[in-house]
C-alpha cells in the first residue's frame, strides 16, 4: 500500500484564499481528497493530497481568487523519472556488458615477446598469413595449426605459442639456436692460416709444425699438419692442435651518405588526434599550418581497455610532428665511424691491435672511412680431412 502511494505521489501545498471555507466545500464537491488540513491563519491553509489531484486543486483555488504554492512533492512523477533513469542506466550497463562479451571473442591487440633476430613486423606478417590478426575470431583459431604454419613459414623459430586473454593475444616465440660444432676427437684435421701474415710465435700441442717464426704465410696455407710420419709403420692422422700467432695487417672500410646525419628537435611541436575503430580511422583534429619537409612525425597509439581484463577495438592515435634540424657534423660522424670500425676489428680478430690509422674520403655524396691496422693474432684455423 505504501509503495502504491509512493508511486502515485503525494503533494504538500499551502493555499492563500480569501474564503477558505468556500474552497474546501468546492474541493469536496469536486472529489479532491485533501488530508492533513491545517489552518495557519484566517486566510492560509496547508494540506496534503495525491499528485494527480494537484491540477484540479489549482483550478478550484483560482476560481476562489486564491493562490496555490507547492511546498513539496514526494514520489509520483519524480519516482517514475528516477525509475526510468535507472532502467535506462541498467539497460545501458547490460548493453555495454553484452558488447564487451562479444568484443572479447575477437583479437584486438597482439603482443610479441621473445624475438631477437627477427623483427616484430616479420612475425606479425607471418601471423596475419596464418589468420591471427586484429579483428580475428579467436575461438575459431587452432593453436596447433597456427604453430605448425608459423614454424614452416619462419624456419628461424624453434618454438612459439599464442595465448589469448581479454581480446589480447600474447605471442611467445623462441628462436632456433644453431647447433654447436660437433667433432670427433679421432677426426683428422690440419691447422691452416685464416689470414695472411708473418709468423711470430708457434705453440703446437699436437701435429707437425710446417712453419717457423719469421715465415710469411698466405690465407689457407697449412700451418700444422695432422699427418705424422712413423719410423716403424705407416703415417697416422691426428687432430692438429695449437696456436700460431702472427703479425697481420687488416683493412676495413665503412661508407655513409653525407646527408645521413642525426637530427635534433629545433622548434615547437604540434599534434593531431584520430580514433581507430578496428581498421577504420576517424580524424578528430589536424596539424595546424602546413606540413614542412624538415619535420619528423612520431605516432603514439593508446589502446582503450584494462590490461589483463579486456581490450576494446578502439585506439586513440596521436601523431606528433616535430621540427628537426641536423645535429651531426661530418667530423662527429667520422669519429663514430672510426670507433665502429675499431670495435668491429676487435670482435673479428683473436688477438690485439698494435697500430691503427684512418683515411677519410668523399666521393659522389658518400663519406668513406678506411681503417688500416697492424695486429698480432692467432691465425690458426681447424680444417678437417679424411686420410
Question: Do both 204 and 217 map to the same domain?
Answer: yes
Interval 296-344: pLDDT, tens: 778 887 777 766 666 777 788 888 877 666 555 677 788 888 999 999 9
Question: Do both 56 and 24 map to the same domain?
Answer: yes
Q: Is residue 316 part of a domain?
A: yes
Question: Do both 72 and 17 map to the same domain?
Answer: yes
Question: Do both 32 and 74 map to the same domain?
Answer: yes
List all residues 6 or more positions away from 211 whose beta carbon is below 8 Å from its beta carbon.
199, 202, 217, 223, 244
pLDDT at residue number 329: 65
- pLDDT category at 243 given cuts 50, 70, 90 is very high
Question: Do both 6 and 74 map to the same domain?
Answer: yes
CA-based Rg of the chain, rounded to a whole angstrom? Answer: 45
Question: Do both 10 and 58 map to the same domain?
Answer: yes
Q: Which three cell numbers, joined as nine digits, stand for 321?
A: 610532428
From CA 169, how far away is CA 111, in angstroms rounded?
Answer: 6
| Among candidate residues 200, 217, 246, the one where a domain is terminated | 246
- Please state the pTM of the whole predicted model: 0.46
Question: Do both 284 and 349 map to the same domain?
Answer: no
Residue whose C-alpha is closest to residue 37's, from 22, 47, 27: 47
Question: Do both 32 and 52 map to the same domain?
Answer: yes
Residue 1, pLDDT > 50, answer: no
- pLDDT category at 171 given cuts 50, 70, 90 is confident
Question: Do both 157 and 209 map to the same domain?
Answer: no
Q: Is residue 359 part of a domain?
A: yes
From CA 121, how far away is CA 124, in angstroms rounded?
Answer: 5
From CA 312, how far away is CA 285, in angstroms rounded?
Answer: 22
Longest dimension (CA), the chain: 150
Question: Do both 71 and 50 map to the same domain?
Answer: yes
Q: Is residue 53 part of a domain?
A: yes
Q: Is residue 355 part of a domain?
A: yes
Interval 282-309: pLDDT, tens: 888 777 765 555 677 788 877 777 666 6
Total number of domains constituting the chain:
5
Q: Is residue 102 part of a domain?
A: no
Question: Do both 285 and 339 map to the same domain?
Answer: no
Q: What is the mean pLDDT of the chain?
A: 81
Q: Is residue 305 a contact partner of residue 312, using CB atoms and an 8 Å limit? A: yes
Q: Which residue range is the domain that position 319 belongs to?
A: 265-325
Is pLDDT larger for residue 236 or for residue 231?
236
Q: Is residue 298 part of a domain?
A: yes
| Among candidate residues 78, 98, 122, the one where a domain is terminated | 78
| Among candidate residues 55, 78, 101, the one where a domain is terminated | 78
Span of 5-9, 241-245, 268-272 with lowest mean pLDDT: 5-9
Q: Is residue 50 part of a domain?
A: yes
Q: Is residue 31 part of a domain?
A: yes
Amino acid at each position: 500500500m505504501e509503495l502504491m502511494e509512493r508511486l502515485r505521489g503525494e503533494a504538500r501545498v499551502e493555499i492563500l484564499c480569501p474564503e477558505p471555507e468556500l474552497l474546501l466545500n468546492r474541493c469536496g464537491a469536486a472529489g479532491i481528497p485533501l488530508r492533513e488540513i491545517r489552518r495557519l491563519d484566517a486566510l492560509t491553509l496547508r494540506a496534503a493530497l495525491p499528485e494527480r489531484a494537484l491540477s484540479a486543486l489549482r483550478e478550484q483555488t483560482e476560481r476562489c481568487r486564491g493562490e496555490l504554492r507547492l511546498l513539496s512533492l514526494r514520489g509520483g512523477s519524480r519516482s517514475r523519472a528516477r525509475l526510468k533513469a535507472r532502467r535506462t542506466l541498467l539497460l545501458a550497463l547490460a548493453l555495454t556488458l553484452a558488447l564487451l562479451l562479444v568484443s572479447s571473442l575477437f583479437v584486438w591487440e597482439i603482443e610479441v615477446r621473445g624475438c631477437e633476430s627477427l623483427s616484430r613486423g616479420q612475425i606479425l606478417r607471418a601471423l596475419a598469413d596464418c589468420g591471427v590478426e586484429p579483428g580475428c575470431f579467436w575461438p575459431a583459431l587452432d593453436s596447433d595449426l597456427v604453430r605448425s604454419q608459423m614454424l614452416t613459414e619462419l624456419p628461424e623459430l624453434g618454438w612459439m605459442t599464442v595465448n589469448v586473454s581479454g581480446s589480447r593475444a600474447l605471442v611467445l616465440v623462441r628462436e632456433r639456436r644453431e647447433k654447436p660444432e660437433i667433432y670427433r676427437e679421432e677426426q683428422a684435421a690440419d691447422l691452416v692460416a685464416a689470414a695472411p701474415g708473418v709468423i711470430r710465435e708457434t705453440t703446437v700441442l699436437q701435429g707437425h709444425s710446417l712453419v717457423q717464426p719469421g715465415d710469411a704465410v698466405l690465407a689457407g696455407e697449412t700451418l700444422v699438419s695432422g699427418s705424422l710420419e712413423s719410423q716403424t709403420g705407416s703415417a697416422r692422422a691426428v687432430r692438429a692442435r695449437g696456436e700460431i700467432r702472427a703479425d697481420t695487417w687488416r683493412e676495413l672500410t665503412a661508407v655513409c651518405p653525407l646527408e645521413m646525419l642525426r637530427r635534433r628537435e629545433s622548434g615547437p611541436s604540434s599534434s593531431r588526434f584520430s580514433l581507430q575503430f578496428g581498421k577504420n580511422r576517424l580524424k578528430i583534429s589536424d596539424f595546424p599550418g602546413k606540413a614542412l619537409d624538415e619535420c619528423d612525425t612520431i605516432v603514439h597509439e593508446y589502446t582503450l581497455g584494462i590490461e589483463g581484463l579486456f581490450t576494446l577495438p578502439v585506439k586513440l592515435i596521436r601523431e606528433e610532428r616535430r621540427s628537426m634540424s641536423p645535429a651531426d657534423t661530418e667530423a662527429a660522424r667520422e669519429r663514430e665511424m672510426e670507433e665502429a670500425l675499431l670495435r668491429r676489428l676487435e670482435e673479428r680478430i683473436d688477438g690485439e691491435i698494435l697500430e691503427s690509422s684512418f683515411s677519410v674520403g668523399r666521393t659522389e655524396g658518400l663519406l668513406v672511412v678506411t681503417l688500416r691496422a697492424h695486429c698480432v693474432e692467432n691465425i690458426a684455423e681447424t680444417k678437417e680431412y679424411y686420410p
